[in-house]
Amino acid sequence: MVQNKTGFSKLSKEEKINWIAEKHFSNPKEAVNLLQRYQNFDASLQKLHDEFIENTLTNFYLPLGVAPNFEINGKNYTIPMAIEESSVVAAASKAAKFWSARGGFKTIILGTEKIGQVHFLYEGDTQKLIEYFNFVKPFLFSEVDSITKNMQKRGGGISDIQLIDKTAALENYYQLHANFQTKDSMGANFINSCLEQFAKTFKNKSEAFGMPSIQIVMSILSNFVPNCVVRAEVSCPVSELNEDKNNTSSEFAEKFLTAVKIAEVEPYRAVTHNKGIMNGIDAVVLATGNDFRAVEAGVHAFASKNGSYTSLSHAKIENGIFTFWLEVPLALGTVGGLTNLHPLVKFSLEMLGNPSATELMEIVAVAGLAQNFAALRSLTTSGIQQGHMKMHLNNILNQHQATKEEKLLVVAHFENQTVSHNLVVDFLERLRTN
C-alpha cells in the first residue's frame, strides 16, 4: 500500500497515476490514457501547471472564449471568459452589442478597502484591554514595517487597526480589525503576513503590560469586503428599449423592472438572479487568474448584508429614462499569484490592456451586469430555455456522438421548435433507424 511506504504525495506523477488507475478503475489502461491525453505536449508548460497545486494528475480544461464590443467608460474591450456553461458568452456578447449602441456601460469605484482580523479571547477587564490596545497600537504598525515597505511605495498599506468587542455575540471574544489598501494585488499573502505579525506583537507585549489572559485564536483576512465595491450601470430612453417584437418599449421596461423588484424581495428568486450575475463575473475572474471562490463568498455575503438575501442589481424609470445597475464587492488583483505564472492569464490581461486592479473591478462588474440584463431580457420575453437549449443542442449531439450530417439535420429540424434533451434524442434515433 502507498501509505505504508513513502506516502502518496511522495510518489512520482507517473506512480500516482498508476496507483489511482489500478485502485479505482475497472479499466486502468483506459484511465491512464485519458489522463495522458489531457497532459500538455509542452513539457515545460505541463511542469508549470503541475506545480500550481499538489498531487497533480493532469489538467482539467475549461473553454476560454471572448465577448467583444464592450464599451466601458468610453473605452472598447474584448472580455475573456473561462466557463463551461452554454450561452453565457453569447448572452454577454449580445448585451454588450445592445448597450454599445446606447452609450455603453458606465462604472465608478466606490471603495477599495480590504479587511483582516486577529481573533482572540480575553477574560479580564474590558477597560484595561482598551488601555493596552492604545499602548500597543503604535507597535502593531512599526513591527510590520518590513512587510509593508514595498506596498507603501505603491500607495498601499494599513489604513487603520481597531479593537472590536464581540463579547455580546461570544463570551470573551474580541478582535483586532484591520483595514488594508493593496493597490493592484489581491493582497491575501500581504494581509495575512501583517495579521500574523500583529498577533505576535499583541501577545508578546501583553504580559509586560499585565495582560496575561490574552489567547490568540487565529489571524486571517476576510473575504467579506463591503468597502471594496464597484458600481456598473447602463441607461437609455425607454423608447430605445425596442428589442421585444411582442411588446412596446414601455411594456418591456415595466416588465423588466417588475422582474428586478421580485428578485429584490424574494430570496428564492434572488439566489438564481444573482447566480446569473455570477455567470459573467466568475468567467472573467477565472480568465484573469483571480480567486472566484473568494469573490463568490464575498458577493453573497454582500447580498445578505441587510439581514435578508436580495438582488445585487436594481432598475428604475425616471423622466422616461431606463437605468439598470449593480453594486458588487470585488477584491481582485492584476499582479502576483497566477497573474505572473499562467500564460493564458497573461494573455487575458494583455487583451484587456493590462488593467489596474480597479479597472479590472469595473470590467468584471460590467460582465456581471451584461449577463444579468441578457438573462432578464430572455426571461421577460421569449423565456430562458429557447436560447439556452439551442446553445445546448450541440452538447447533446456530441454526447450522443452525432455525425456531421446528423448534426445538420437535427439543427435544421429544431430551427423553429422547442429544444429538449428527450426530443433531440428521439429525433436522432429516428434518423438512425430510417
- Catalytic positions, please? 85, 275, 291, 388
Is-contact 97 107, C-beta < 8 A?
no
* Residue 12 Cα distances to 20, 39, 354, angstroms: 12, 15, 37
SS3 assignment for the chain = CHHHCCCHHHCCHHHHHHHHHHHHCCCHHHHHHHHHHCCCCCHHHHHHHHCCCCCCCCCCCCCEEEEEEEEECCEEEEEEEECCCCCHHHHHHHHHHHHHCCCCEEEEECCCCEEEEEEEECCCCHHHHHHHHHHHHHHHHHCCHHHHHHHHHCCCEEEEEEEEECCCCCCCEEEEEEEEECCCECCHHHHHHHHHHHHHHHHHCCCCCCCCCCEEEEEEEECCCCCCEEEEEEEEEHHHCCCCCCCCHHHHHHHHHHHHHHHHHCHHHHHHHHHHHHHHHHHHHHHCCCCHHHHHHHHHHHHCCCCCCCCCEEEEEECCEEEEEEEEECCCCCECHHHHCCHHHHHHHHHCCCCCHHHHHHHHHHHHHHHHHHHHHHHCCCCHHHHHHHHHHHHHHHHCCCCHHHHHHHHHHCCCCCCCHHHHHHHHHHHHHC
Burial class (CB in 10 A: 0-12, 13-18, 19+), 401: exposed
Place of cell 500516482: 16
Grid cell digits, residue 6: 513513502
Grid cell digits, residue 5: 511506504
Is-contact 350 91, C-beta < 8 A?
no
Grid cell digits, residue 338: 497566477
Beta bridge partners of residue 115, listed in sequence order: 179, 222
